[in-house]
Amino acid sequence: MIFKEFIKQYGTDEDCLRKIFVIRYGFKPYCVGCKTRRKFFKKTNRSVYECMKGHQVSPLTGTIFTKSSTPLRYWFYTIWLMSATRGGISAKQIERELGVTYKTAWRMMKQIRILMGKREGSLLKGIVEVDESFWNGAAKNRRYVANYNEKPQKIIMGMVEREGNVIMKKIETTGRPALMEQVEKYIDKKALVMHDQWPAYTNLHKLGYAHYGIDHGKTYVSGKAHTNNIEGLWGRIKPGIKGVYRKVSSKYIESYMDEYCFRYNNRKTPDQMLEILLNQI
């Protein structure tokens, strides 16, 4: 959706409120008071809709907008920008564009990332590539399973379907238990898991998975046996996140990942991202 269309649809707070009303209740919802379907009309100067008999509903109750004093159209604009901007957008830029404080911009984005992180429970299927990415600044500094006593590290485990969806989760070690926990939580048992030769993956068949360890020492890609997709994702996401956020704290790293995964998982239908997010509210 281009900016002109966006503004036409959601240029005013009333447009946005109307949208939320329709998402939550439909066009002519059932009125609990009248015990029948009614048309509802917005009360002037209030975020409340009312039927002809005066029964009221407030569409914002229970949404991320309830306690916010930021205008709805600013929220919608931020949601739209975050979903439409391929490489992500900084709170600084929202601050500049909307003239809100940095804190407000940052808080809105944090809430929107929560919407982006909500996913339907479907497991990854088919060929699934797995890999871990270190965010401590160090190169791959994984040690075999013996790292129980090490201090937690900033690591992201990535799992991606060929041509499909990606899931990224924060883990603290690359020991077997940590990796297996993620695999079992997010990957279908019928999947074929592609991984590198990290020993923690060698027991995957004991959990019921078909799997294949790729030897990166070999320079060629043999048919379907590769982890090019997940490696390509690291190559794009790492510079992207570091460029936009500079410092990535351990507390928020997974929510940044949620944002990237959301855009990636909806890349084939970019026009629907706004609608999907609005439906999550």
31 binds Zn ion (CB under 5 A): yes
Of the ranges 29-37, 111-119, 225-233, 235-243, which one interacts with Zn ion (CB under 5 A)?
Answer: 29-37
4 binds Zn ion (CB under 5 A): no
CB of 67 to Zn ion, least distance (A): 27
Q: Of 54 and 217, which CB lies nearer to Zn ion in the complex structure?
A: 54
CB of 178 to Zn ion, least distance (A): 54
CB of 25 to Zn ion, least distance (A): 12
33 binds Zn ion (CB under 5 A): yes
22 binds Zn ion (CB under 5 A): no
CB of 36 to Zn ion, least distance (A): 8
Of the ranges 44-52, 135-143, 178-186, 229-237, which one interacts with Zn ion (CB under 5 A)?
Answer: 44-52
HEC assignment per residue over the chain: CCHHHHHHHHCCHHHHHHHHHHHHHCCCCEECCCCEECCCEECCCCCCEECCCCCEECCCCCCCCCCCCCCHHHHHHHHHHHHHCCCCCCHHHHHHHHCCCHHHHHHHHHHHHHHHHCCCCCCECCEEEEEEEECCCCCCCCCCCCHHHCCCCCEEEEEEECCCCEEEEEECCCCHHHHHHHHHHHECCCCEEEEECCHHHCCHHHHCCEEEEECCCCCCCECCECCHHHHHHHHHHHHHHHHHHCCCCCCCHHHHHHHHHHHHHCCCCHHHHHHHHHHHC
51 binds Zn ion (CB under 5 A): yes
Out of 4, 53, 151, 246, name the contact with Zn ion by CB under 5 A. 53
Q: Of 32 and 138, which CB lies nearer to Zn ion in the complex structure?
A: 32
Q: Of 31 and 115, which CB lies nearer to Zn ion in the complex structure?
A: 31
28 binds Zn ion (CB under 5 A): no
Q: Of 40 and 75, which CB lies nearer to Zn ion in the complex structure?
A: 40
Q: Of 37 and 216, which CB lies nearer to Zn ion in the complex structure?
A: 37
CB of 5 to Zn ion, least distance (A): 34
Q: Of 28 and 92, which CB lies nearer to Zn ion in the complex structure?
A: 28
Strand partners, 169: 157
CB 84 within 8 A of CB 263: no
Q: Of 9 and 58, which CB lies nearer to Zn ion in the complex structure?
A: 58
CB 57 within 8 A of CB 40: yes
Question: Which residues here bind Zn ion, judged by CB under 5 A?
Answer: 31, 33-34, 51, 53, 55
